[in-house]
Chains A and B, each alone.
Chain A
Amino acid sequence: DAGVIQSPRHEVTEMGQEVTLRCKPISGHNSLFWYRQTMMRGLELLIYFNNNVPIDDSGMPEDRFSAKMPNASFSTLKIQPSEPRDSAVYFCASSFEGYGFPDTEAFFGQGTRLTVV
């Protein structure tokens, strides 16, 4: 299995531009998570999808951030407009949740390092 695939690995953009981060979860997994890692706030959960439906977006910092999961094999995290304080490493992770069974552990992608100048 190729694991969770994120693209791009690095992104440098100018303040005010739209940025789209992409994630392909592990095949067969039905839950997807976006996390953000910064020096100031550490690793924090942004949003959690189950069966392509956003279940918990309480970690999304503000309206400039949006996430979608149009199908089981693809998710995007969009920032519009981007600001320098959005500079961070964004991780996508996936797992499998079965009814009545403990969830499998989450496997993380390699992350996208976003720099907003």
Chain B
Amino acid sequence: AQKVTQAQTEISVVEKEDVTLDCVYETRDTTYYLFWYKQPPSGELVFLIRRNSFDEQNEISGRYSWNFQKSTSSFNFTITASQVVDSAVYFCALSRGLTGGGNKLTFGTGTQLKVEL
């Protein structure tokens, strides 16, 4: 069975601080995708990133960066110089395979990030 653990239920930071959201996953599959989604207070789910199990390269997109380590089954997400607009619930998710159901997602429980002035 697949499982995604986001141990941090809630994180509060002051604007401009860096913050890392942790994600640990369990799967017996050799091929899979890992995802991060953002859910702002308005409620929609916004896709942030997808990485496949063969690509452990870290990725940076503006203030966002992701660290994928298969050795520790982790896919952590860092926001640099956080802003109030980053306040949201962030979900890590895991898929079954890369094709044919690559979006059948097992979600973690989410981390509520609050960025204050």
Q: Do A and B come from one complex?
A: yes
Render B80-105 as a binary contact track against A, CB cut-off 8 A, 1 for contact: 00000000000101000011111111
Q: Is there a chain A Cβ closer than 8 Å to B41's Cβ?
A: no
A44 to B104, CA, bound (A): 9
B102 touches A42 (CB 8 A): no
* A61-69, A79-87, A98-106: which lies at the interface: A98-106
From A55, A91, A97, A100, give the contact of B102 (CB < 8 A). A97
From A42, A50, A102, A109, give the contact of B52 (CB < 8 A). A102
A89 to B47, CA, bound (A): 18
A103 to B43, CA, bound (A): 25
Q: Who on chain B is nearest to A91 by CB?
A: B45
Residues of B within 8 A of A97 (CB): 99-102
Q: Who on chain A is nearest to B106 by CB?
A: A45
Q: Who on chain A is nearest to B101 by CB?
A: A48
Given A42-B109, A42-B110, residue A102 in contact with residue B43 (CB < 8 A): no
Residues of B within 8 A of A93 (CB): 45, 103
Q: Is there a chain A Cβ closer than 8 Å to B50's Cβ?
A: yes
Least Cβ distance of A56 to chain B in Å? 7
A105 touches B47 (CB 8 A): yes
B47 touches A106 (CB 8 A): yes
A91 to B102, CA, bound (A): 17
Given A45-B104, A45-B105, A89-B43, residue A103 in contact with residue B98 (CB < 8 A): yes
Residues of A within 8 A of B105 (CB): 33, 35, 43, 45, 106
Q: Is there a chain A Cβ closer than 8 Å to B68's Cβ?
A: no
A106 touches B99 (CB 8 A): no
A116 to B34, CA, bound (A): 34
Given A42-B107, A44-B107, A110-B44, residue A105 in contact with residue B91 (CB < 8 A): no
**A-B CB proximity, top 3 nearest:** A103-B102, A106-B103, A43-B107
12 A-B pairs whose Cβ atoms sit less than 8 Å apart in the complex: A31-B101, A45-B104, A48-B103, A48-B104, A56-B101, A89-B43, A93-B45, A93-B103, A101-B99, A102-B98, A103-B99, A111-B43
